[in-house]
Structure 1
Amino acid sequence: MTPSTENGRKDGQPAMHTPPVVSSQAWKAAREQLLVKEKAHTRARDALAAERRRMPWMAVETAYAFEGPGGKASLLDLFDGRRQLIVYRAFFEPGVFGWPEHACRGCSMVADQVAHLAHLNARDTTLVFVSRAPQADIARLKAQMGWEMPWFTLTDSFDADFSVDEWHGTNVFYRDGDRVFRTYFINSRGDEQMGSTWNYLDITPLGRQEAWEDSPEGYPQTPTYKWWNWHDGYVADAAPDKKWVEVSDAGEAVFRDQDASTKP
C-alpha cells in the first residue's frame, strides 16, 4: 500500500513515488535497521572529530587588523580573552547580491542558525563573523535581522590569507598567551553543519571538552552534562547546582547505556 500521492497531484506536478505504508511493528523494525547505520555514522563522526583534535597547528605570524564596534581590533582581540576562536567569513559588502539591504543569502542562512553564544563561551570559545562592510552597515544589518554575534570589518589580507576571499568559510584558531595558531578550516558544504553549539565545538582543537571524548592527554574535560546551563545562568567558576548534579548523574547513566547499544 502506498499513499495517494503516487496516483497524481492536483497541482499538475509529477506524482511522488513515496515509500510503502506499513504496520507499527514493521515501521519499528525498519527504524531499528536504519538505526544501526545511524549509530555507525555517529561513531565515525566522533572518530573524525578526535582525529581533528590531533591535527597539526599553523602559527599565525601576521598582525591582522579589524574594525569593531569599539574601534580597531587585532586577531588576539577577537578571542575576547578566551582560548578558542571561530571566525566565519560572511559576504556583506559592495558587489554582493543584496547589498546594502542584506548580506549574501547563503551567509544570512548561516547567521540565522547560530545558537546562543553563551554555550560556546562557557567552553572557552568565541565565535565571530567578519566582512568587508563598514561597521555602520554591519550594525544596521544585525539590528534588522536580529543577529547578536560579534561582527568585525576586514581591513587587510586576512580573507585572502585564510582562503575566504572569494568564498565563505570557517577558520578556527587557538590562543596560547599572545601566540595564535590556525587549527582547522572548512568551507563550501562543510559550513552547512555549522550553527549548533555541538558542531562548532567539534571543529575546535579542544572539542566539546567532555569526559567521553577521545582527546590527547591533558586536554580539559568535564563530565558530560555537568557544565550545561541555561544561557542566562552561566557564572564563572560557579560550582554545578546540586539538583542539576543529581539530574545529570542520571542522564550520564542513560548516556553510557545508550552509547553501548543501538538505541538513540
Structure 2
Amino acid sequence: MNTPPIVTAGEWDEARRRLLVKEKEHTRAGDALAAERRRMPWLAIEKPYVFQGPEGELGLLDLFAGRRQLIVYRAFFEPGVYGWPEHACRGCSMVADHVGNLAHLNARDTTLVFASRAPQADIARVQQRMGWQIPWYTITDSFDADLGVDEWHGTNAFIRDGESVFRTYFVDNRGDEVFGNTWSYLDITALGRQEDWEDSPDGYPKSPPYQWWNWHDEYEDPQPPDEWIARSTAAQELFK
C-alpha cells in the first residue's frame, strides 16, 4: 500500500484543521440544499392507493398514522427479487438494518414505513428473522410505478393537510445512502469503503460496489453468488 506520510502530532493536528475547513463548507452546502428541498413544490396525490397491512386494507392517508408527515421507502421484496422468498434484496435489507428507534421521527410528527409487493405473511416472516420493527405494508396497485420506484428502490416524502395528501420529495439511486450509517462510518476510515470507484492511494484494498453487501446473518460466506454479481453489476451501471 502507498500509505500517506507518518507525521508528528502537531503536523497531524494541522492537517486535520485544514480538512475541517472543507468539511464545514460541505456541511453548510448541505444545509443550503436542505433549505431548497423544503421549498420544493407540492404535488397533490389524487389516486386512492390501497395497501395491505397486518390488520387489513389501508389507504395512503392511513399510513400517516395520524401524523402530519410520511416517508415511504419502497423495499424490494417480492417474487423475482434476489433472495426471494427467504430475504428481501440485499441493499434494501441493509437500509432496513439501519432504521433505529422510530420514536425520534414520530416526535417530529413524522411516520416512516416500508412498502413492498410481498404478501403480509412473507413480510412478517422476514421481519421476525431479521429483527426489523418497521411498519411494512403490501403494495396492491400502481403506487410504486406512479411514484418512480417500480424497480430497484426509492424513498418518497409526503405531507397531509387534513384529508389531502401531497408528495414533497423523492430520492433514489445513491441518494438513499444517507439513510445508512455503514457508508458514513466507512467514509471516515483510512481505507474508506474499499470499493473500486473510490479515489484512494495505490495498493488500497478495493472490490466492486454492491457485491460485498449481504444479509447481516450471512456474512460468513465471503464469495458472492454469481446471480448477485450479475445483478449488482447492473446496478453499478444504473447508479453511477
- Contact 2:116/2:139 (CA < 8 Å) preserved in 1? yes
- TM-score for both structures, normalised by structure 2: 0.75
Instruction: Provide the rounded CA distance (Å) in 2 between the counterparts of 1:152 and 1:195.
Output: 21
> What is the match of residue 257 of structure 1?
none
> What is the match of residue 36 of structure 1?
21
> What is the match of residue 160 of structure 2?
175
User: Which of 102, 109, 127 is matched with 1:142 structurally?
Assistant: 127
What root-mean-square deviation, in Å, do the aligned CA atoms of Structure 1 and Structure 2 show?
Answer: 0.8
Are 1:107 and 2:97 counterparts?
no
Are 1:151 and 2:136 counterparts?
yes
Are 1:24 and 2:36 counterparts?
no
Q: Where in structure 2 are the equivalents of 1:202-221 lying within 5 Å?
A: none
Instruction: Provide the rounded CA distance (Å) in 2 between the counterparts of 1:80 and 1:18.
Output: 52
Q: Deviations over 1:49-97 (max 9, x none)?
A: 0110011000000000000011000000000000000000000011111
> What is the match of residue 259 of structure 1?
none
1:51 counterpart letter in structure 2: E
- Contact 1:115/1:195 (CA < 8 Å) preserved in 2? no
Aligned residues: 181
Percent identity over the alignment is 73
2:44 counterpart letter in structure 1: A
Alpha-carbon offset, residue 126 of structure 1? 0.3
Larger radius of gyration: 1
Unaligned runs of 5+ in 2: 182-240
Instruction: Provide the rounded CA distance (Å) in 2 between the counterparts of 1:116 and 1:191.
Output: 19
Instruction: Provide the rounded CA distance (Å) in 1 between the counterparts of 2:157 and 2:101.
Output: 18
Instruction: Provide the rounded CA distance (Å) in 1 between the counterparts of 2:180 and 2:94.
Output: 10
Instruction: Provide the rounded CA distance (Å) in 2 between the counterparts of 1:60 and 1:195.
Output: 28
Secondary structure, counterpart of 2:35 in structure 1: helix
Are 1:163 and 2:126 counterparts?
no
Instruction: Provide the rounded CA distance (Å) in 2 between the counterparts of 1:96 and 1:54.
Output: 36
Alpha-carbon offset, residue 195 of structure 1? 4.4
